[in-house]
Structures are given as structure tokens and as C-alpha cells.
């Protein structure tokens, strides 16, 4: 459900010299092999849907064969059953699709397959809250206590601080009783209020707006705020305000009792219990060894009820829809000009002492990673799936990645672990160590 794991954030590099990506920390002595020679690449299944256009200087020409080959290698290294990469640049649209949607079958994944997008849902919740502010139904500097009772420090936490992860409220998905309950009864529906009760039993971690900490509690609260201010259920507002206007026919927020996925869909897998996805609990050595050797089979989490995530991470979508969504959001197709500027300027440094320039704003991370490139992005992680969505407005690059394995045997978030390899193929002048090739 998180944008990335707490200590291994989804991060795009601040310089071209190094990359720190969630789940991509290299083991001691690991190195990155060079990108494949396109002339020696196998017959690709990656495809380009448009003829080449003039390439901006920041971008490389995209080689579909090299893209396909690199995703295949990464999937094998990470032991991912299936993976999809959807890339749109001024040169056209490129797809790399490898593996299978379900273990034991040979059905290849596609960009039209439905999967659980986890914390990428936050981009939608934040956009809806901003739209409600645009409508005058709320103000972003309103205290959350105006909308939801019983919030610790609620009179002093603004909606803007919730959006930017600066409330200090305890993250309910860190609570061990939640992962234990999900393992014991994976199909049970859980309400937002029940999740808040878990969080509010613990004291806040810091005073409002004095620090940054990624917390799903913030976005569960914002879902309730949106329902009160908008006067309609969150799923209905998502559909009418966000999905329908953009033609996102494959995107939805399931009802709390719904554990199904629309067809076609991918199954989602993870080794071990739910806790490995919800908190930074590393795999024990024996689990890592058994998973690498194939003796341990991953658990099928496809139909675990995602209601505990809801506004923080409960949506379902497709790669095609997500590419349309993130580009529309970043380029001003969702909000009016004034609120688009406010959304665009909302990212605030997560760590003022850090040099990588990573900032979190209204349901979005922004980072500059080269003199001519920056990206607005988010990631998603829950049991069964890992994903990344991003748009670079400077160079008109849209990137969507999803996998149907949450964590590799060595504990890396799988979609995000592919990012260095992909960015190396998109941008000129990068030489980012991936630990995959």
C-alpha cells in the first residue's frame, strides 16, 4: 500500500551518478552489466505503435528489442511471474510484456489486464480532494476535525498536511494486529473507521507539520473527508469526477465487500505472510533461500480483500488507463489552471538534509534527476502486486510498470527494482547501477 517501503523509497536520482530506488539497493560487490547489444537481442515482443518522431536531446531512441530483453532479464532475476512495462515518449508507445498472469499457465500479461494498483490510488484521492477545493466544498487549510471526529491533534492537522504526509499520525498498516487479521481472514471486509481506530490507539509520532512520514492513515482520513464534502460515496465520486471524464473504463474502486477483479486480470503473488508487504520486515534467510531455489511457492493474494486500503490503496486499474491518468493529472487535464499550479507546487522535501531532491506533495512525488528531466510519480505495493506510474512533463515521457509479485526473494519491491534499467534506456547520459542486468 505504500508509495514505497519505509526505508527503501521509490526514488528517481537527483544526479546521474547514482540511483537509490526502493528495493534496488545493491548487495555488497554487486555490479551492473552493460545494456544488451540491440543487434544481438532476441526477436522482441516489445512493440512500438507509432513511427519515430524527432527525439529530444534528453532522450535516447527507444529500441523495442532492448526494452523487451531487459524486462525479460529483470523478471527472471527477480523471479517475477509476470511483468508489464508501458512507455510513451514523443517517439511513440512501447510495450514490454513478459511471463504469465497466473502461475501454471502460459497466458501472457497485457496492458489491458486489471490489477490492484495499491498506493497509486493516492494520486486519485488527492486529485478528488483538490477538485472539491476547486469547487469550494472544502479548503485545503481546513482542520481535519471539521470533517472527521476523534482524530488526535485533529484541530491542528490541515487537509494539506494530510495530503503531504505531514500529520504525524500513526500509520495503521504498521500495526501487527492488522497483518495478523488479514492472514487469518483474508476475505473479510474492513471499514475505514476500523482502520482509523487501529491508528488512533497509538499516539502521534510528531506534531503536525514538523516532519514527514508516509502514513496510510492520512489517506483513509481524506477518503472520509471527500465523502462528507462531496456528499457521495468515494467510489461514485472517483467514477464521475475522475474516471469517466478521462475515459478510464478499466479503473474502479471496489466496494468494501468485493474481492473480485474485472476480467481480464492478473493473479498477484507474494512469499510469506501479509506483514512482508505492510511493514519493513525482511525475509528470513531460510525463506530467501527456499524462494530462490523454487522450493517455496509464492502465495496467491489475488482475492485478499483490499478494503483495508480503500482511499489509501484500494483501486483497480490497467496499465493503459494508468498511463492516461498520470499524464492527464500532471499536464493539467484534471484541475483548472489555478489549482493545477497549487497541485504542481505542492511537493515538499521529505528530508530537508537530503541532497536527492525528493519531495512529496498532494498524492505525488516529484524529483529532478537530470538537468533536462524531472518526473512526477507514485508507486504502489500490497500483497500480490507492485507498480510504478510516472510522467515527465519536460520531455513528455510516461512510464507505467507493474508486476504480479510484491517482493523478490531478496526483498526488493519488484516493479521499482526495474526502474534503473528502464531509465537508462529512456534518458541520455544516465548510467545507473541496477543490480539486475
Output the DSSP codes for 76-115.
HHHT-SEEEEEEEETTEEEEEEEE-SSTTS-----TT-BE
CA 166: distance to chain centroid? 19
The SS3 assignment for 220 reads: helix
pLDDT at 280: 77
Alpha helices, DSSP H only, in 283-336? 285-293, 319-331
CA distance 214 to 2: 8
Output the CATH code of domain 38-120+252-426: 3.40.710.10
Asked if 5 contacts 413 with a C-beta cutoff of 8 angstroms, the reply is: yes
Report pLDDT for 46.
59
- Residue 238 is classified by DSSP as I
Helix (H, G, I), strand (E, B) or coil at 432: coil
Q: Enumerate the H helices of 332-391 as residue ranges.
A: 337-344
- Residue 366, classed as helix, strand or coil, is strand
In the numeric block, the cell 486500503 is attached to 309
Residues (pLDDT < 70) of the chain are 1-56, 355-356, 370, 437
Phi/psi for 105 (5° steps) reads -125, 175
Within 13 Å and on the Cβ side, how many CA atoms surround 302? Answer: 16
What's the pLDDT at 260? Answer: 97
Residue written as cell 477545493? 133
Taking the C-alpha atoms of residue 111 and residue 83, their distance in angstroms, rounded to an integer, is: 10
Q: Which of 105, 86, 107 is nearest to 96 (CA)?
A: 86
Euclidean distance between CA atoms 256 and 196, whole angstroms: 15
For position 356, what pLDDT does the model report?
Answer: 64
Phi and psi at residue 351, to the nearest 5°: -130, 105
What is residue 249's three-state secondary structure? coil
Locate all alpha helices (DSSP H) within 216-304, ordered by sequence. Answer: 216-230, 234-237, 275-278, 285-293
| Cα gap 38→55, rounded to integer Å | 18
CB 242 within 8 A of CB 124: yes
pLDDT value, residue 355:
63
CA distances from 233 to 1, 253, 256, 290 (A): 21, 10, 12, 44
Going from N- to C-terminal start, the domains of the chain cover 38-120+252-426
Per-residue pLDDT, 128: 98
Q: What is the pTM of this model?
A: 0.89
SS3 257: coil
How far is it, in rounded angstroms, from Cα 176 to Cα 179?
6
Torsion angles phi and psi, residue 182, rounded to 5: -65, -40
Distance CA 168, CA 387 (A): 26
Task: Give the whole-angstrom CA distance, residue 44 versus residue 66.
Answer: 8
Task: Give me 201's grid cell.
Answer: 490507539
Please state the separation of Cα 95 from the chain's center in Å: 19
**Residue 89 burial class via C-beta count within 10 angstroms: exposed 0-12, middle 13-18, buried 19 and up:** buried
Amino acid at each position: 500500500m505504500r508509495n514505497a517501503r519505509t526505508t527503501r523509497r521509490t526514488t528517481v536520482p537527483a544526479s546521474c551518478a547514482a540511483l537509490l530506488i526502493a528495493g534496488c539497493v545493491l548487495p555488497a560487490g554487486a555490479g551492473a552489466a552493460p545494456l544488451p547489444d540491440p543487434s544481438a537481442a532476441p526477436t522482441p515482443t516489445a512493440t512500438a505503435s507509432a513511427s519515430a518522431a524527432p527525439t529530444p536531446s534528453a532522450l535516447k531512441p527507444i529500441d523495442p528489442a532492448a526494452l523487451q530483453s531487459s524486462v525479460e532479464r529483470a523478471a527472471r532475476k527477480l523471479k517475477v511471474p509476470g511483468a508489464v512495462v508501458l512507455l510513451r515518449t514523443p517517439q511513440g508507445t512501447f510495450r514490454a510484456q513478459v511471463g504469465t498472469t497466473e502461475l501454471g499457465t502460459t497466458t501472457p500479461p497485457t496492458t489491458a489486464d486489471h490489477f490492484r494498483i495499491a498506493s497509486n490510488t493516492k494520486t486519485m484521492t488527492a486529485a478528488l480532494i483538490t477538485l472539491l477545493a476547486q469547487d469550494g466544498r472544502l479548503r485545503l487549510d481546513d482542520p481535519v476535525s471539521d470533517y472527521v471526529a476523534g482524530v488526535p491533534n485533529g484541530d491542528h492537522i490541515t487537509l494539506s498536511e494530510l495530503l503531504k504526509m505531514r500529520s504525524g499520525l500513526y500509520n495503521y498498516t504498521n500495526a501487527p494486529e492488522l497483518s495478523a487479521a488479514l492472514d487469518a481472514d483474508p476475505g473479510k471486509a474492513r471499514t475505514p473507521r476500523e482502520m482509523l481506530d487501529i491508528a488512533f490507539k497509538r499516539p502521534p509520532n510528531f506534531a503536525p507539520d514538523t516532519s514527514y512520514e508516509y502514513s496510510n492513515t492520512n489517506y483513509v482520513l481524506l477518503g472520509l473527508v471527500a465523502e462528507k464534502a462531496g456528499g457521495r460515496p468515494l467510489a461514485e465520486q472517483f467514477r464521475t469526477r475522475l474516471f469517466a471524464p478521462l475515459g478510464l473504463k478499466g479503473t474502479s474502486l471496489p466496494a468494501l465487500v468485493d474481492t473480485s477483479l474485472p476480467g481480464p486480470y492478473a493473479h498477484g503473488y507474494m512469499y510469506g505472510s501479509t506483514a512482508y508487504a505492510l511493514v519493513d520486515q525482511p525475509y528470513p534467510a531460510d525463506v530467501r533461500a527456499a524462494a530462490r531455489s523454487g522450493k517455496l511457492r509464492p502465495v496467491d493474494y489475488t482475492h485478499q480483500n483490499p478494503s483495508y486500503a480503500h482511499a489509501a490503496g484500494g483501486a483497480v486499474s490497467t496499465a493503459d488507463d494508468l498511463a492516461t491518468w498520470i499524464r492527464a493529472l500532471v499536464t493539467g487535464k484534471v484541475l483548472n489552471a489555478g489549482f493545477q499550479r497549487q497541485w504542481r507546487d505542492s511537493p515538499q522535501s521529505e528530508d530537508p538534509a537530503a541532497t536527492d531532491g525528493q519531495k512529496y506533495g498532494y498524492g505525488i512525488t516529484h524529483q529532478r534527476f537530470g538537468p533536462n528531466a524531472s518526473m512526477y510519480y507514485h508507486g504502489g505495493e500490497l500483497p500480490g502486486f507492485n507498480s510504478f506510474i510516472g510522467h515527465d512533463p519536460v520531455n513528455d515521457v510516461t512510464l507505467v510498470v507493474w508486476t504480479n509479485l510484491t517482493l523478490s526473494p531478496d526483498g526488493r519491491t519488484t516493479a521499482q527494482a526495474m526502474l534503473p534499467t528502464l531509465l537508462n534506456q529512456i534518458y541520455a547520459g544516465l548510467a545507473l547501477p541496477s543490480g539486475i542486468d
